[in-house]
Amino acid sequence: MDRLTSDAVVVGAGLAGFTAAVRASEQGAKVVLIEKSGGELGDGNVLMASGSLRAGGKSPKANPAELYEFVMTEGVAYPDLVRAWAATCGRAVDWLAGSGVKIVESAPGRIWLDQSGEVSLAPVYKKDVGTRALAKLKERLFKLGGRYMNGIEGQRLLLENGRVSGLMGRKGGEEIELRSGSTILATGGFSANKEMVRQYIGPHADRCKLRGSKQDTGDGLRMALEVGAKAVNLQYFYGHLLSRRALTDDRFWPYPRLDLFVDDGMLVDRNGERFVDEGRGDVAVANEVARSDDVTGAVLIFDQATWDAARDDAFSNSVKTPAPNPWLMDNDGELFHHQTIAGLAQELGLDRSRLTRTLEQYNRALESGAGTDLPIPRTSKAKPLRAPFYGLKVVPGITFTMGGVLVNGRAQALDLNEKPIPGLYAAGDTIGGLMGGYRGGYTGGLMQAVVTGILAGENVSQFKR
């Protein structure tokens, strides 16, 4: 059996893992970053990301007090972690830039990883924004003397006298012992683990489309739970509704996103009935559908004005993602349209009179400004829907899971009494405590990864070997 000793071992080479590894190396720690895939830059979500650096829908450079308030209003976040996150967002962007990662500001507060790279739309959408960012961090890690070892899967933490002293990994058929003063779990979330998705999100949620890396199988969460860590907010995920065709056709994931149709349209189930307040936004709605009994049965109904507003040239917007119009129409994306709502119901295979009744009730309520009085309230500023109508069969896409190992403001993993487990840290999508809630509670995956990676990396020196 191989043995390796370091001050800090980082498990998982996504944005959180690379950040933690570089930041720990900057503190003088001898660092080993292990990665289970064979990828030279891991195989995480950042390799697919759009590159928007948002912090709770705001600029990461916003006042920390404002960021803190915003996140805490969801009611499920943990104050110590949110305070540290809010205080670190601004300098995290500067740190990335200082590490050689190119950052651009397209408008005041709209901060991005450099968008000038390549995009291809088929057979699977690809964008190299994250690849270039990780390449810079890897370069810096090597300059600082850190090691990157791919093809090693972290399997089980070593717990000795209540302290984590590294972990056991597997390289091919061989076991490897990685002894370390500090262990940082940065293995992403559990969106690619169907069993965990069923257990934590909803009994049928494994029927959702995975909208992120297939490597995110919840390994870090499992390992942390095994040594007594506390996990929180496991029921929430970040994701979007996608055309249901995404289940069988790679051209429909991870884009186009359908946010606009949720904001301005009506979502019905197979019976033609509304079942969720669309005004809660696309992320919250995707969560509700994933938790329902009929994950693949929902249909978005919208009108011509919304369809027209969703038109864009795939490459003209700054994010370079395909817009729904005309992508869905041109590629047979389970989209139907008709002059009448009864005709649309027929095309969709829904009950004509039920869908007509649902739409009439919905329109009447919105016309009289009484959307919130509907049996299923309709909040936010939606307008009544006018002929001709569109119907799109949808499925929730899980980008990453929001819940995970509860950490404090130093990224230390906490036990069931919310006391630090000595030697154990978590970062990025492996953590819980920052995101989730009734309105989605998305605070930005990239900022979560960089901020908690920095916090973990800065604090490992207290557990050097």
Ligand X SMILES: Cc1cc2nc3c(=O)[nH]c(=O)nc-3n(C[C@H](O)[C@H](O)[C@H](O)COP(=O)(O)OP(=O)(O)OC[C@H]3O[C@@H](n4cnc5c(N)ncnc54)[C@H](O)[C@@H]3O)c2cc1C
Smallest gap from Cβ 451 to ligand X, in A, equals 11
Is 167 a residue that touches ligand X (CB under 6 A)? no
Is 400 a residue that touches ligand X (CB under 6 A)? yes
- Total residues contacting ligand X by CB under 6 A comes to 42
Q: Which C-beta is closer to ligand X: that of 222 or that of 280?
A: 222
Q: CA 447 to CA 62: how far, in whole Å? A: 13
Kindly report the CA angle at 192 between 134 and 400, in degrees rounded to 5? 60
Is 43 a residue that touches ligand X (CB under 6 A)? yes
Amino acid symbol at 395: V
| Cα 384 from chain centroid (whole Å) | 32
Q: Of 8, 10, 31, 50, which lies in the binding site for ligand X, with binding defined by CB under 6 A?
A: 50
Residue 185 bridge partners (DSSP): 11, 426
Q: Which C-beta is closer to ligand X: that of 51 or that of 433?
A: 51
Is 282 a residue that touches ligand X (CB under 6 A)? no
Residue 147 bridge partners (DSSP): 32
Is 193 a residue that touches ligand X (CB under 6 A)? no
Smallest gap from Cβ 43 to ligand X, in A, equals 4
Q: Which C-beta is closer to ligand X: that of 15 or that of 81?
A: 15
Q: CA 216 to CA 42: how far, in whole Å? A: 11
Q: CB-hemisphere CA count at 13 Å for 339?
A: 0
Number of H helices, E strands in the chain: 13, 21
Is 35 a residue that touches ligand X (CB under 6 A)? yes
Smallest gap from Cβ 275 to ligand X, in A, equals 27
The window from 2-10, 47-55, 116-124, 285-293 that contacts ligand X (CB under 6 A) reads 47-55
The window from 40-48, 87-95, 283-291, 414-422 that contacts ligand X (CB under 6 A) reads 40-48
Q: Which C-beta is closer to ligand X: that of 35 or that of 74?
A: 35
Task: Tell me the two tokens of residue 394.
Answer: 């949808």
Is 246 a residue that touches ligand X (CB under 6 A)? no
Q: Of 8, 10, 12, 290, which lies in the binding site for ligand X, with binding defined by CB under 6 A?
A: 12
Q: Which C-beta is closer to ligand X: that of 279 or that of 324?
A: 324
Q: Concatenated DSSP letters for 240-302?
A: EEEEGGGGT-GGGSS----HHHHHHSEEE-TTS-B-S-GGG-HHHHHHHHHHSS-TT--EEEE
Residue 426 bridge partners (DSSP): 185
Q: CB-hemisphere CA count at 13 Å for 244?
A: 18
Task: Tell me the two tokens of residue 270.
Answer: 């197979």
The window from 49-57, 242-250, 292-300, 323-331 that contacts ligand X (CB under 6 A) reads 49-57
CA distances from 300 to 169, 307, 359, 363 (A): 45, 12, 12, 15
| Residues near ligand X, by CB under 6 A | 11-17, 34-37, 42-46, 48-52, 153-154, 186-188, 211-213, 215-216, 219, 254, 399-400, 428-429, 444-447, 449
